[in-house]
């Protein structure tokens, strides 16, 4: 009998808490039920999203009774160019696999979910540090023999299961496994945990992989998310709906429906300008980019927002899933908070906030360090939960806090600058709109980003020293890129110095000298 020349090699890359180990167990169980020789190994990933846990499975597609006592030699680790089925639970993990040579056009079927779980480096970037997913998908089509890419996390949510079940269904539907569908579904049933939900997710993914179902459309996404978009549908062109709807949802969640209406009120003049200057032909890019950063800015982070996010049911459920807690197992969550005087003053009325900031400024002049209060709050306890939830309940009062009118005034200033620039040059208006990228972060990070934003607004956008729109456009772009490259502003000062803007004076930082107590040993 002619036996297969080699085993079927399968490499799975999954993040923590996504059930990658369960998926490997299902594969082994299904292969064993079919009487195929099978072997699996796993390599733990590195923390902080620098690498997934990988599971490597080899299945020899010949039943034991046909081998006449022979035993195939199965490898413990994958080799570049020698993987038949590469599976990634997130699109960036597929990029890592391609970079490492595990995807080849003559052999590999690539299955990956297109949703994103952002890496630490992406989140740390002062600007838009997200990796370009479109390039990864184009590379997948080019480097893989066949690429099956769709949002599997969305199917997992709809099915009430984890993504491993969806990945298993896509693998079975791809035809790359030597296993029938029934054997795969039996493996899920015999595992005995979350069977109905897992089978539902398996079925949806199986039909996606076979082409029976198509990927979700934008209309489906609207229906699922149930955004209040009646006004958007009536007054905004279709090419802006996705961004503007997301902005409506974010601002509503952050404050209320009236705040979302304010968001739309601010976008409509930009849309009118975009249409007037012919921007509709280019997809209303000015409107989309302004809407994007306006939504982010209007939902700035304060202690009210932080407390709200930390006490939501969805967060507790996510944490339990991440630590794989069983229903009867308690999970303790300790929040490490270190608010400063500025963060506390930001949610106070203007009079109280002014007094607090003046007091803190006096401390700084005396050479004392910034005052921060380290706090350890257990949100799984009644006391800790109520402490944060009380802060979250202040959301209706946010408009009366000292920071709210300050942020709104700065937002209006930015929007006026965009509109004024658009009257003469639409591309210049886009560059000014993209300055919204600079506003991000919390605490000191937010203050540094705002300082860089104001520096560009004061010296370039509103100064009127550069008359040529094309030159101004290039200068603003260069300054923005410089600010994103260095949050401390040194690179920005160097960029502005090229157009005659003097550097900012060096800020004085008090040095605190701590004397040793008598008898205290010198540190070594």
pLDDT tens across 384-436, in order? 889 889 988 999 999 999 999 999 999 999 999 999 998 888 999 999 999 99
Token pair for 164:
């491993």
- Whether the CB-CB separation of 419 and 290 falls below 8 Å is answered with no
Mean pLDDT of 84-93: 93
Kindly state the DSSP code that residue 47 receives in the 8-state scheme.
T
* DSSP string across 467-523: --HHHHHHHHHHHHHHHHH-TTSHHHHHHHHTTTPPPPPPPP------PPPTTPPPP
Distance between CA atoms of residues 206 and 160, nearest Å: 16
Mean pLDDT of 136-142: 92
Distance between CA atoms of residues 195 and 292, nearest Å: 40
Mean pLDDT of 469-496: 86
pLDDT of the residue at 513 = 62
Q: In the predicted model, is pLDDT for residue 523 greater than 60?
A: no
For 113-152, the three-class secondary structure string (H helix, E strand, C coil) is: ECCCCCCHHHHHCCCCCCCCHHHHHHHHHHHCCEEEEECH
| Residue that is written with structure tokens 């006096």 in the block | 362
Q: How far apart are the first and last CA of the chain?
A: 75
Distances (CA, A) of 484 to 128, 439, 471, 491, 493: 9, 10, 20, 9, 12
Residue 506, class by beta-carbon neighbours within 10 Å (0-12 exposed, 13-18 middle, 19+ buried)?
exposed
Of 125-134, 158-167, 219-228, the poorest mean pLDDT is in: 219-228
pLDDT of the residue at 51 = 57
pLDDT-based confidence at residue 46 (cuts at 50, 70, 90): low
pLDDT of the residue at 226 = 45
CA angle 225/227/229 to nearest 5° reads: 145
SS3 23: helix
- Whether the CB-CB separation of 159 and 3 falls below 8 Å is answered with no
Considering the domain delimited by 8-216, tell me its CATH architecture: 3-Layer(aba) Sandwich (3.40)
CA angle 484/262/473 to nearest 5° reads: 35
Contacts of 138 (CB under 8 A, 6+ apart): none
pLDDT of the residue at 238 = 86
- Whether the CB-CB separation of 385 and 379 falls below 8 Å is answered with yes
pLDDT-based confidence at residue 224 (cuts at 50, 70, 90): very low
SS3 112: strand
Cα dihedral across residues 463, 464, 467, 470: positive or negative: positive
List the one residue out of 112, 118, 114 whose CA is nearest residue 130: 118
pLDDT tens across 296-355, in order? 999 998 889 988 988 888 888 888 888 888 888 888 888 887 778 888 888 889 899 899
Long-range contacts at 326-334 (CB < 8 A, ≥ 24 apart): 330/380, 331/380, 332/378, 332/380, 333/378, 333/379, 333/380, 334/376, 334/377, 334/378, 334/379
pLDDT tens across 169-187, in order? 999 999 999 999 999 999 9
User: CA torsion angle for 396, 397, 399, 403 (degrees, to 10)?
Assistant: -130
Q: What is the b/e burial string over 478-499, where b = at least 16 CB atoms within 10 angstroms of the residue's CB?
A: bbbebbbebbebebbbebbeee
Q: In the predicted model, is pLDDT for residue 223 greater than 50?
A: no
* Average of per-residue pLDDT values in the chain: 85
Distances (CA, A) of 19 to 24, 52, 170, 177, 198: 9, 12, 15, 19, 11
Residue 72, class by beta-carbon neighbours within 10 Å (0-12 exposed, 13-18 middle, 19+ buried)?
middle
Residue 220 — φ and ψ, nearest 5°? -60, -45
Mean pLDDT of 499-518: 70
Q: Where are the alpha helices (DSSP H) in 211-279?
A: 218-225, 230-235, 238-254, 257-276
Cα dihedral across residues 92, 30, 83, 200: positive or negative: negative
Contacts of 399 (CB under 8 A, 6+ apart): none
* DSSP string across 340-381: BHHHHHHTS-HHHHHHHHHHHHHHHHTTPPPPB--EEEETTS
CATH 3.40.920.10 region(s) of the chain? 8-216
Mean pLDDT of 163-171: 94
For 476-491, the three-class secondary structure string (H helix, E strand, C coil) is: HHHHHHHHHHCCCCHH
The percent of residues above 70 in pLDDT, for the chain, comes to 92
| Residue that is written with structure tokens 């009487």 in the block | 35
Which range, 113-117, 144-148, 217-221, is most confident? 144-148
pLDDT of the residue at 333 = 86
Distance between CA atoms of residues 152 and 93, nearest Å: 14
- Whether the CB-CB separation of 322 and 466 falls below 8 Å is answered with no
């Amino acid at each position: 009998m002619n036996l297969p020349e080699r085993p079927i090699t399968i490499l799975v890359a999954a993040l923590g808490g996504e059930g990658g180990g369960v998926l490997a167990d299902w594969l082994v169980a299904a292969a064993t039920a079919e009487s195929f020789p099978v072997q699996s190994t796993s390599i733990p990933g590195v923390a902080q999203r620098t690498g997934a846990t990988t599971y490597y499975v080899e299945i020899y597609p010949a039943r034991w009774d046909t081998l006449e006592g022979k035993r195939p030699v199965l490898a413990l680790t994958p080799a570049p160019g020698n993987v038949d089925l590469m599976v990634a639970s997130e699109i960036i993990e597929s990029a890592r696999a391609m970079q490492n040579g595990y995807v080849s056009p003559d052999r590999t079927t690539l299955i990956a979910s297109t949703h994103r779980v952002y890496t630490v480096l992406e989140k740390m970037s002062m600007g838009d540090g997200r990796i370009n997913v479109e390039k990864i998908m184009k590379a997948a089509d080019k480097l893989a023999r066949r690429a099956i890419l769709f949002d599997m996390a969305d199917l997992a949510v709809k099915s009430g299961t984890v993504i491993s079940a969806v990945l298993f269904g896509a693998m079975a539907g791809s035809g790359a496994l030597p296993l029938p569908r029934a054997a795969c579904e039996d493996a899920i049933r015999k595992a005995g945990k979350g069977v109905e939900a897992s089978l539902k997710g398996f079925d949806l993914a199986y039909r996606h992989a076979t082409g029976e179902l198509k990927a979700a459309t934008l209309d489906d996404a609207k229906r699922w998310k149930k955004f209040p978009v009646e006004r958007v549908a009536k007054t905004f062109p279709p090419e802006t709906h996705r961004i503007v709807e997301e902005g409506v949802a974010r601002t509503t969640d952050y404050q209320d429906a009236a705040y979302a209406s304010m968001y739309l009120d601010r976008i409509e003049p930009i849309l009118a300008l975009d249409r007037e200057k012919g921007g509709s032909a280019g997809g209303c890019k000015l409107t989309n980019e302004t809407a994007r950063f306006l939504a982010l800015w209007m939902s700035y982070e304060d202690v009210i927002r932080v407390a709200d996010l930390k006490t939501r049911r969805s967060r507790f459920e996510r944490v339990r899933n991440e630590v794989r807690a069983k229903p009867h197992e308690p999970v303790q969550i300790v929040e490490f908070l270190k608010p400063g005087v500025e963060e506390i003053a930001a949610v106070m009325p203007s009079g109280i906030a002014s007094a607090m900031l003046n007091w803190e400024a006096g401390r700084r002049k005396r050479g004392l360090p910034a005052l921060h209060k380290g706090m350890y709050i257990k949100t799984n306890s009644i006391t800790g939960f109520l402490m944060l939830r009380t802060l979250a309940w202040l959301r209706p009062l946010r408009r009366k806090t000292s920071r709210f009118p300050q942020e709104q005034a700065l937002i209006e200033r930015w929007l006026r600058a965009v509109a004024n620039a658009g009257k003469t040059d639409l591309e210049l208006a886009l560059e000014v709109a993209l300055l919204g990228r600079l506003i991000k972060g919390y605490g000191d990070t937010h203050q540094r980003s705002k300082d860089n934003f104001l520096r560009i607004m004061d010296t370039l956008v509103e100064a009127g020293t550069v008359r040529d729109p094309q030159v101004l456009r290039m200068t603003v772009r260069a300054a923005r890129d410089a600010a994103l490259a260095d949050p401390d502003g040194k690179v920005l000062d160097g960029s502005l110095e090229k157009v005659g803007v003097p550097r900012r004076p060096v800020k004085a930082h008090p040095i605190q000298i701590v004397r040793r107590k008598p008898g205290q040993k010198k540190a070594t």
